Every structure is written in C-alpha cells, then in structure tokens.
Amino acid sequence: MNPNTAVEQLHSIDRECRHLEKTTALLQWDQETQLPPGAVEDRAEQIALVQSIWHRKLTDPQTGRLLDELGADEQTPGGDEKLPRLERDFCRVFRRNYDRAVKLPEDLVRDAARAEGLSQAAWVEARQANDFASFVPHLTAMIDFARKKARCWGFEGPRAYDGLLDLYEPGLTAAETEALFTPLKEGLSALLQKIARAAPPETSFLDREYKVEEQVRFNRELMEGLGFDTRRGRLDISVHPFTSSLGFNDIRITTRYAPANVLSSVFSTIHESGHAFYELGLSPELQGSCLAEGASMAVHESQSRLWENVIGRSLPFWEWWLPRLKARFPEQLLGVAPEAFYRAVNQVRPSLIRVDADEVSYALHIILRFELEKQLFAGSLRVEDLPGAWNRLMKDLIGVTPPSDTAGVLQDVHWSMGSFGYFPSYALGNLYGLQIWEKLRQDLPETGTLIREGKFEILYQWLREKIYRSGCRVEPAALLAQVTGEKLSVNPFLRYLKDKYTVLYGL
Ligand code: CO
C-alpha cells in the first residue's frame, strides 16, 4: 500500500477515536457540572459503553496492520522518500497509544475498571469515617492492578513504578525523578524554615464576605482579560475545578465559589485558564489528531502553575487587577494597596492538605507521595503501614502531624482510582514552568511592565510559539531542550522562590 494511503486510513481511525474520547469527556464534564445525583448510575454505564467502543476501535487488528506496514521509521517501500515530519510524529504517537491499549488483555481492563469503581466508593466512605483499615483491601487491589498493567507494558518487577511514571511523563524514570526531588526537598525545607521564623502578612481583609454573584462577574472579567477566547470555551462551576477539552474549539474550565474565600475562585480560574491556553494555542494543523495534546502531564501543569503562581501571584499582576477587584468589592478592600494584597496572596504556612498548600511547601506534599509510592511498588512498605509512614514523613517534611487519616493519607482521590505515578507531575510542572519562564524573561525583558499594563496577550503568544503550538509532537525533554537549550533542573524554580520570598518576608 502507498504509505500516504496507509497514513490517511490511520488518520481516519484516529479522528473517530478522538470523537469518542471527546464524547466521553463531554459526559464526564456534564457529570461534574450539571448531572442530577439520581442519574449517576446511568451515566457510569453510558461512559463505560463509549469507552469500550473507543477501545475496540483503537485496538482493531487493522490498526496494527497499518502501523506495521508503515514500519518503525515510516520509510516508504521504495526507500527513497520518507513521510513528512508531521506524519512521522503522528505515526509515532499513534503507535504509542495503540501499544498502550493493545498490550492490556481485555479481562484485565474490565476487572481493573470494576475494581476502581468499588475502590473509589470505599475511599469516599473510609475518608468520611476516618477508617483506613476498610480501604486497605481496595488499595492493595489497586496496587496489584497497576503492577499487572506495568508488566504488560514491559516494566517487570522493580521497574513497575517506572512504567507508571512513563504514562504521565514519557521517558522519565523513578531514579531521574529522585535525582530532581532530593535537591528540591533540601532547597524547599531550608526556605520554609527561614520563612517560619518571619512575621506573617496581614490577611484579615480576605476573611470578609465576598458575594458570590460579584465573584462570578469578576472571574469572567478575569478570564477574558487574560485572553481566554470565549468563542472557543467557557467557564462553569464544579466541586473540584478542572479543565476539559471537548473539541479543538471547545475548552471548558470550571471554578468554585465560596463567600468566605474569594481567592479560591480567582486562583482556580487562573490555574485552569493556564491549562486552557495550552489547548487553545495548539496549531490548527493538529486539529482532530492524537497530536493535539499537551507534551505531558507535567508540561501541561507547568502552564497552569506558571499562570497561577508566577504571573497570578506577582506584584505587577495585582497592580493591574486589584483596582478591578476593588470596583466590585469596594468595602471589603477599602484601603488595601497592591503590595498588601500581593503579600496576602503569598502567605506561607504549613498545611496538612495538599490542595491548600502554598507555593513553597506544595512540592513537599508531592515528594511525600512520591516516596511512599516508590516504597509501595518496591515492596518495602506494606499498605497496612501506610498511615504511620505518611504521618512520619509529614512531620519530617512539613512539620505537622495529621490529627486523623481523613486529614492525612486518605485526603487524595488519586490512589483510590489506581492513579500511581501521577503525583510527581504536579511538582515537575513547577520545574518546567520556571525553566521556561527564565527563558521568556530573557526574550521579553519588560515582562513586569507587560503584566502591570494588562498585556497578557504578548506572554501568551510567546508561550504559544514555544510550547503550545507543537502539542505532543515533541517529547518533554526534547521540548525543554528546544526552548531553553538545557535539561530539566530544580535551579530556576528554587532561584525564583528564594528571590521572591526573601523580599516578601524580609529574610
Ligand atoms: Co492543574
């Protein structure tokens, strides 16, 4: 077969798979934002059905034959002419997705999915009742399924955890992650100890009541002011904020509102807008293709964190946005200057809960989870002993001890869903983000002025050219090398925190 014909056929299969994925995403988005509670069971069946059709389509033997025909290097049978670069990238990523799906036996996929449902329900109950023991058999089963999947993907025995990390961060091993996390841990702990001895900022104006209706209006103004094109997406409400791509021109973000916590909605909106910018900035030539994805979980997270923390928690940002927030909340923010607001949104204090953590201690919460996952998969930590190990590490790393497992080992949903190897991408996102940001500031030295004048479009365009456009055509390490000329490092992130918090806290 002519290679171009084979590629065309693969594109056609891929397009249908993408439509099925986006259909699943729409069902899930609706479940998180609109679905009446009584409809949950039907919805679970609808999602399972669409997913099984997707799986069958992706793993059809015809797909494998087409991929084999194109060969590893996509050399044409004549050997004189290769496919264009874009098509070679497409075949490589499509092959990777196909291999991931086809290597898992159907009964393993089915059994794992069913166990996951039960495990999540058990986690909800265990968390409510502060009863870790009742969750132990489910968590044990989740670890077992994850190990079996890793083995199917070629990661045997002690390498199982590498196989799970690779799902979210292609090519990254546990040893490489550890080599980054060790200096990160030291740098963050040292900074945290210094901050703990300094006086905390004034934050009482944040404790006032901020009417939800006005918050809704402000968040809309905020997302549009940052450059979110509302003809290609929208903002809704959910319990846990998220971003979902329902199509190339349909990126949904959510936030949540509480009258007593105005910062929660604001920073969720900025964070999710950062994720959305990545999706909205993909090159049109990737539309409808498996290449229309972020380079990895961590690179995606680097963008949400960059917008939320580096841009959104900067002084110039609040020099621009505080007058606009004040216009909606004149009484609550009477007499509050941008500097005071800037100090308040950067308050550092040890927290038991990861999602409430500040910019300095956040990665320590991730390092804790990474350490425990590594030990669980190495077999050196038993599931029964997890709460004790959690509490000891919490004390070591963050200096606090959870009063209950609900506020400790049971706080995150990830493990109950079998998502092991996922957590590190949150902290790696900080590292990618700051490394990219240092380069951006070299190219655009007037960054502070741009932010202070609300010219976010210029930052977005730079990020789009360097990061967003190429989707997952380039793997994370290669993308970083392409943009910065360097390997992933903890130094830019640690430098950024040290510079920022030394001034903020007068260290
Ligand atoms: Co995120």
pLDDT tens-digit readout, 420-467: 999 999 999 999 999 999 999 999 999 999 999 999 999 999 999 999
> How many whole angstroms separate alpha carbon 325 and alpha carbon 318?
9
Where residue 79 falls (left for φ over 0; alpha for ψ -120 to 50; beta otherwise) is left
Helix axes 61-70, 3-33, angle to 10 degrees: 130
Q: Quote the ligand 1 centre to 215 CA distance (angstroms).
A: 21
pLDDT for 78? 46
Residue 11 has pLDDT above 80, yes or no: yes
Q: How far is the CA of 494 from the centre of ligand 1 (A)?
A: 20
How far is CA 113 from each of CA 95, 330, 420, rounded to the nearest angstrom?
A: 23, 51, 15
Cα–ligand 1 centroid distance for 249 (angstroms) = 20
Average pLDDT over residues 104-114: 87
Residue 175 has pLDDT above 80, yes or no: yes
Mean pLDDT of 17-40: 93
Distance 244 CA to ligand 1 centre (A): 11
Sequence-ordered list of residues with C-beta below 8 angstroms from that of 35, at least 6 positions apart, any chain? 43
Is-catalytic flag, 272? yes
Task: List pLDDT tens digits, range 283-301.
Answer: 999 999 999 999 999 999 9
Class of domain 174-505: mainly alpha
Average pLDDT over every residue of 45-66 = 91
- In angstroms, the Cα distances linking 292 to 14, 351, 422, 468 are 11, 37, 21, 10
How many angstroms is it from 275 CA to the middle of ligand 1? 7
Continuous segment of H or E residues that includes residue 410: none
Give 92 or 114, the one with higher predicted confidence: 92
Q: What's the gap in Å between 426 CA and the centre of ligand 1? A: 8
Q: Please state the rounded mean pLDDT for residues 501-505.
A: 96
Give the pLDDT score at 80.
Answer: 43
3-class secondary-structure state, position 329: coil
Task: Tell me which amino acid residue 494 is.
Answer: L
What is the chain's mean pLDDT, rounded? 94
What is the C-alpha to C-alpha distance for residues 304 and 395, in angstroms, rounded to an integer? Answer: 29
pLDDT per residue as tens digits for the range 133-156? 999 999 999 999 999 999 999 999
| 326-351 residue pLDDT tens | 999 999 999 999 999 999 999 999 99
% the chain with pLDDT above 70: 98
CA–centroid distance, 241 to ligand 1, in Å, is 9
d(CA 52, CA 46): 10
User: What pLDDT is recorded for position 109?
Assistant: 87
Angle between helices 85-102 and 40-58 (to 10 degrees): 120
Q: Which of 272, 308, 319, 475 is catalytic?
A: 272
Rounded-to-integer distance, Cα 287 and Cα 305, Å: 25
Asked whether the beta carbons of 261 and 295 are under 8 A apart, the reply is no
Cα 379 to middle of ligand 1, angstroms? 30
Q: How far apart are CA 258 and CA 381, in angstroms?
A: 39
More confident residue, 83 or 194: 194
- Surface-to-core class of residue 499, CB atoms within 10 Å of its CB (0-12 exposed, 13-18 middle, 19+ buried): exposed
Residues 6+ apart with CB under 8 A from 446: none
Paired with 250 in beta bridges are: 247
**pTM of the full predicted structure?**
0.94
Give the tens place of pLDDT for each residue, 60-81: 999 999 999 887 554 444 444 5
What pLDDT does 73 receive? 53
Question: What does the pLDDT read at residue 81?
Answer: 57
Residue 277 CA to ligand 1 centre (angstroms) = 12
> Distance between terminal CA atoms of the chain?
68
- Residue 317's pLDDT band (cuts 50, 70, 90): very high
Centre of ligand 1 from the C-alpha of residue 424, in Å: 12
How far apart, in whole angstroms, are the C-alpha atoms of residue 431 and residue 371?
18
481 and 348 Cβ atoms separated by less than 8 Å: no
